[in-house]
């Protein structure tokens, strides 16, 4: 019985040590039109995650890549990434989300594949009987998207109110 308990404790301690290390996963695919590799690294203790993907088109050898990184902070997290398409055009983003007393706030910016400059802001706050949330995106300083959600509970009923505005796209 003592040996069984000692063995169980040893396995538990060794397993805990293994989970504390960064976990790396790599997957590959090879299809009729493209092949690629994706590698992710997650370190829960450090609060980091990264993902890198590369795809090669077989018809002409063109390569598309995607890279994402996320870092936990004392007050939330930061995230960034880039993507390069088969045509060589690159887009990127940076994002930061911060915990607040009753929810969170977020800001971000990015560059589109054709050089467009984007910004993002968002927030969510708990109320006494629900929450309110808002997300807004702008291109070159002009708002192109805004969504506001209000959810409240009263007398066993849930009321949801959502308002979305979008700037019409040029076609």
To which H or E segment does residue 9 belong?
A: helix 2-20
Please give the Cα distance from 92 to 23 (Å, whole number): 25
Contact 90, 81 (CB under 8 A): no
Would you state the pLDDT for residue 67? 98
Would you state the pLDDT for residue 19? 54
Would you state the pLDDT for residue 6? 46
Would you state the pLDDT for residue 78? 97
Would you state the pLDDT for residue 77? 97
- How is residue 110 written in tokens? 């990015």
Would you state the pLDDT for residue 131? 97
Would you state the pLDDT for residue 76? 96
Q: What is the DSSP string of 18-74?
A: HHHS-EEEEEEEE-SSEEEEEEEEEETTTTEEEEEEEEEETTT--EEEEEEEEEEET
Q: What is the DSSP string of 77-97?
A: EEEEEEEE-TTS-EEEEEEEE
pTM of the predicted protein model: 0.76
Would you state the pLDDT for residue 18? 52
Residues across the chain: 171
Would you state the pLDDT for residue 20? 63
**Residue-level pLDDT, tens digit, the chain, 171 residues:** 445 444 444 444 455 545 568 899 999 999 999 999 999 999 999 999 999 999 999 999 999 999 999 999 999 999 999 999 999 999 999 999 999 999 999 999 999 988 899 999 999 999 999 999 999 999 999 999 999 999 999 999 999 999 999 988 776
């Amino acid at each position: 019985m003592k040996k069984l308990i000692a063995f169980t404790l040893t396995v538990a301690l060794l397993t805990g040590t293994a989970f504390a290390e960064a976990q790396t996963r790599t997957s590959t695919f090879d299809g009729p039109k493209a092949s690629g590799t994706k590698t992710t690294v997650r370190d829960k203790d450090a609060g980091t995650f990264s993902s890198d993907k590369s795809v090669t088109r077989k018809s002409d050898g063109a390569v598309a890549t995607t890279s994402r990184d996320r870092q936990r902070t004392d007050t939330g997290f930061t995230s960034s990434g880039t993507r390069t398409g088969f045509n060589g055009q690159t887009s990127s983003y940076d994002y930061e989300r911060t915990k607040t007393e009753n929810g969170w706030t977020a800001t971000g910016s990015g560059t589109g594949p054709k050089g467009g400059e984007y910004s993002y802001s968002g927030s969510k706050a708990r109320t006494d009987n629900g929450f309110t949330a808002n997300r807004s995106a702008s291109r070159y300083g002009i708002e192109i998207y805004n969504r506001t959600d209000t959810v409240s509970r009263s007398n066993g009923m849930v009321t949801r109110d959502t308002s979305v505005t979008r700037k019409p796209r040029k076609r």
